[in-house]
Amino acid sequence: MRRNVLITAASRRVPLVDAFQRVLRETGGRVIVTDVNAMSPAVHVADAAFRVPLATDPGYVEALESLCAAHDVGLLVPTIDDELEVIGAARARFEAAGVRVAASPTETAAICNDKLRTSQVLRARGIPAAESWLPAGVPAGVRFPLFLKPRNGRGGVGAYTARTRREFEFFAEYVDRPVVQEYLDGPEFTIDMLCHEGEPLAIVPRERVVIRAGVMDRGRTVRARSLLDLGLACATALEFHGPVNIQCRIVGGVPTVFEINPRFSGGIPLTIKAGANFPRMLVHLARGRRVQPSIGHFTAGLWMTSYEAAIFLQADEAAVFPRSVAPIRVVA
């Protein structure tokens, strides 16, 4: 039974690396990460780190397979949207080699990476989702404001509110491959959910009270039946494996989805601290243990307020990793 965990594109996800390290200190094993930049903070807190090609490189999957085989990896955890379809498509290859993949099927990833398709799929299944159009398809009598963002974007980059027709026309030209959504005016929530072969194991809604650079800076866990039910409904509309975060706003008392990301959220430390330890569940599943569903079992009203931390490196350490971390190198 393989012992180690590989987190890809680890970058700034130090809290996620730390969460898996805490689990593996109890059960044995190491956390290995990949990244394209030796200065990424996570590579300096992981137990080992390696440089691999970009997810768009034809050799990306082979590089990960090589790492898994060489370093006793039993669980692969992708973290960025760019790689979800690629790794989802290779799921069978990894699992044939004894590596469980914490990623949804490639079709699910493709739908979630396309905000227009996400809306269309959910609405077709009766799930409240922000009405969405391509710029040319926006109804003539639509009410402003409207929300424009890249159809395949992430992290709130390139997202703008158009309050007038003139602003709409400007942002429709300015935003790269835009999708237009109805403006949802209400409190914003992320629903963290962990699924095993399509079945939800844990669901934790969080209110995003303060958001900075697309990530929750301050927020709290909320036990609301409507949000838990929305998570369950989304799991019937799309097949999820591993972590997923559903972003929504409550409008007129109804939680309405505007985005789904089938990966760990940036605010996952709050969910873990509230008692839904997704990393522990994933490690247990990877080692063949049964994990009982615990939907709604978490500490409600728990707040998280985040702050920046820093890792300090000497000039030579920026190019050569610390002794406690394996030197970064390209995997052939």
4-103+310-319: in CATH 3.40.50.20: yes
pLDDT at 67 over 60: yes
The answer to whether 104 and 244 have CB atoms below 8 angstroms apart is: yes
Distance CA 173, CA 159 (A): 13
Considering the four listed CATH numbers 3.30.1490, 2.60.40, 1.10.490, 1.10.3470, the one that applies to the domain covering 131-182 is 3.30.1490
Distance CA 41, CA 45 (A): 7
Helical residues (DSSP H) of 175-302, grouped into ranges:
225-237, 268-273, 278-286
Q: What is the pLDDT confidence band of residue 1, given thresholds at 50, 70 and 90?
A: low
Distance of CA 239 to the CA centre of its chain: 15
Q: What is the pLDDT confidence band of residue 37, given thresholds at 50, 70 and 90?
A: confident
Q: What is the mean pLDDT of residues 53-58?
A: 93
Distance CA 298, CA 295 (A): 8
Q: Closest Cα partner for 12 from 327, 306, 319? A: 306
Q: Closest Cα partner for 187 from 226, 150, 148, 233? A: 226
- CATH fold, domain 186-305, is D-amino Acid Aminotransferase; Chain A, domain 1 (3.30.470)
Q: Closest Cα partner for 132 from 302, 1, 44, 259? A: 259
Give the domain ranges of the chain: 4-103+310-319, 131-182, 186-305
Strand ranges inside 44-198, DSSP E: 48-51, 73-77, 100-101, 132-133, 146-150, 160-162, 178-182, 188-196
pLDDT digits (tens, 9 = 90+) for 221-278: 999 999 999 999 999 999 999 999 999 999 999 999 999 999 999 999 999 999 999 9
Q: What is the pLDDT confidence band of residue 316, given thresholds at 50, 70 and 90?
A: low
Q: What is the mean pLDDT of residues 21-29?
A: 92
Would the pTM of this model clear 0.95, i.e. be above it? no
